[in-house]
Structure 1
């Protein structure tokens, strides 16, 4: 099996026991990183209260070569691995709210990582297999369905963490300053810094 559901939830304790308010935790990730950024899957809203539908109309159709959310997430992981020297062993937290039919039976039999208002299944993976698409292919072979976007992705050394909750139009990234800089200079990604106490944008 390319992905391995975890019975021992210890690798996710640093997230499950993090003191950060749950909403900040699931949108930007655990506290303790020197720097944070946002990977914008689509542009930010032009004004407060704008709906995502209105934003899509305003921004116009995506170009033919636009990367999907999954492709953008993969590219971010690839960039972080290249610049961090992190081991290829890593972990995914998969939000249980997608519905049981989205998950392999082996995952559903595993215990869940629970935080306020969210629960996840923990899987250990090779991040290289994740980048190659082998993890998604194995998942789809077992379920017949597309693998949902992971809610959290991190390497075993916890040098960085990407957080992609179901509600925002962006993924939060916690890492060292140099790693955030490497994402800012990747031309195929739309990454911006997150400053302390910055009000973050959301579509209605």
Structure 2
């Protein structure tokens, strides 16, 4: 069936309406109020202050960021009653053009909203409106039942996930992923 672009942004209100939290926390972990949070790391955390991301590289056989997002979503699919009814936000900074389309607006970020199953974003070779040959990762993914939310901002070397204790435990136990527990309100490790 594939992803469907949505002009009605009401499903994203839970991202937008949380104005009492810092914008960086919102774009890197999604909504507050989950029982547990974690970071899916694409690179090890910095070894020293001021370290550049250019100073480290994933192992040659390491899965790509997109593959790791896919693994995380596979694991999270078992922690929702609605894996076939999910929402996806695509950052508008990837060159996507959907003429006249409304955007989900957070401070310093704008997104297009889509709906589909958890497998739809991986099955398609492009997002609707995205230039052919490019398949960026979603900035946010959440099921219709709000059981969890995965957030992948463009800047960090990780994706944040909020969900139940069982969902985070499932991510921590997945041998394909490098996952650590996280406190969204705490300062997160960053490369420079």
Specify if TM > 0.5.
Answer: yes
Query: Does the aligned pair in 2 maintain the 1:2–1:138 contact within 8 Å?
Result: no
Which structure has greater helix proportion?
1
Pair 1:78-2:74 in alignment: yes
- 2:123 aligns with one of 104, 126, 134: 134
Map of 1:79-158 to 2, 5 A cutoff?
A: 79-99=75-95, 103=96, 107-130=98-121, 133-135=122-124, 137-139=125-127, 143-158=131-146
Equivalent residue number for residue 38 of structure 1:
39
- Residues 81 and 5 of structure 1: CA distance in aligned 2, closer, same or farther (over 3 Å): same
Deviations 1:51-95 (A, max 9, x none): 011233xxxx6132x211001001101101123343321011111
In 1, Cα distance between equivalents of 2:127 and 2:109:
22
Map of 1:184-199 to 2, 5 A cutoff?
A: 184-195=172-183, 197-199=185-187
Equivalent residue number for residue 167 of structure 1:
155
Query: Does the aligned pair in 2 maintain the 1:87–1:157 contact within 8 Å?
Result: no
Q: Aligned Cα RMSD in Å?
A: 1.9
SS in 2 for 1:11: helix
In 1, Cα distance between equivalents of 2:44 and 2:129:
33
Give, in angstroms, the shift of residue 141 of structure 1: 9.9
Give the TM-score, by structure 1 length: 0.86
Give the TM-score, by structure 2 length: 0.91
Query: Does the aligned pair in 2 maintain the 1:46–1:55 contact within 8 Å?
Result: no
Gaps of 5+ in 2: none
In 2, Cα distance between equivalents of 1:148 and 1:196:
24
Gaps of 5+ in 1: none
Pair 1:63-2:42 in alignment: no
Give, in angstroms, the shift of residue 140 of structure 1: 8.2
